[in-house]
Amino acid sequence: MAQTAELEKTETKQTLNQLDQLKRITKVVADTGDFASLKEYAPQDATTNPSLILKAAQMPTYQALVEKAIADNRKSGLTGEVLLSGIMDHLLVLFGTEILKIVPGRVSTETDADLSFDTQGLIDKAHRFISLYKENGIARDRILIKIASTWEGIRAAEALQKQGINCNMTLLFSLAQAVACAQAKARLISPFVGRILDWYKKNTGKEYLPSEDPGVVSVKEIYAYYKKFGHDTEVMGASFRNKGEILELAGSDLLTISPQLLAELKNSNEPVERKLSPEIARQSKIERLSLDEKTFRWLLNENAMATEKTSEGIRIFNADAKKLEQYIAGKL
């Protein structure tokens, strides 16, 4: 009987593609603003960021959303920078609203990168998004507010979580950032696997196997820490450079994956082995980290990769947000 069950299990794995196998052990999230990709790969959730929305907003398919955001905000009578800011917020929410017509779960909407060190500004922006979503008939339990994992961002998340607004902590590159987010009871974190790999390849000149990939190792450490010490914050690996990184993190709470890599998974029937589980994680020998603001800032400072990639990520997202602003301004 046991042999028959094992055989059926093996046959099922062989007939399912890797994406469907992965969905059985990990919540798959699409990292895109393209609705066609969402329909094709049927993820549970979706994430967006300024870079993805910039790309999507310039596609002919989504011009109607851009025009609607402009038209609706023009009715307000606002002008100049205030009008432009209102259009930007509205456009992000319109994309999120359309995405939620396709995915059954949640969508992540990113706060302005130039607010990354402004706790109150982030709180106000989150409330603005929640209010706009409510106007579109979307309940707050389907929204994740994306905030950079700075000390100020983490404090904003702590306040928002107490108000019932769930946060997705992005631009996260270190255990110190992850622990601080868990202490703040953030709903979810997005450690950036591929950008960690980018930094190590650039600074060491080495190539890494998926199992040795520094980004993969970092997420495994964070996952183990959360499960061992009973943190409810979800771990969602992000920013993948290759399919191997994804497969090494099979079993993580969530993984947010680009359409290109979703396609690679869908087109393969190789077996997917579970690499992460709460049971294994709880047996890890990782030590509890005690964090206050001083310790957090010191540990982040001592981690050159995390310091550089956090700052770089904020700059990149801000630059793409400015490009999107310019694109919209050109239509006004």
Burial of 325 (0-12, 13-18, 19+ CB in 10 A): middle
Q: How many CB atoms lie within 10 A of CB 16?
A: 16
Q: Which of 27, 146, 227, 243 is catalytic?
A: 146
The answer to whether 52 and 31 have CB atoms below 8 angstroms apart is yes
Catalytic residue check, 146: yes
Strand partners, 46: 30, 107
Q: How far apart are CA 271 and CA 15, in angstroms?
A: 9
Measured CA angle at 43 (ends 39, 45), to 5 deg:
115
Q: How far apart are CA 105 and CA 43, in angstroms?
A: 9
Give me the residue label for tokens 């928002």. 160
- Residues classed as catalytic: 146
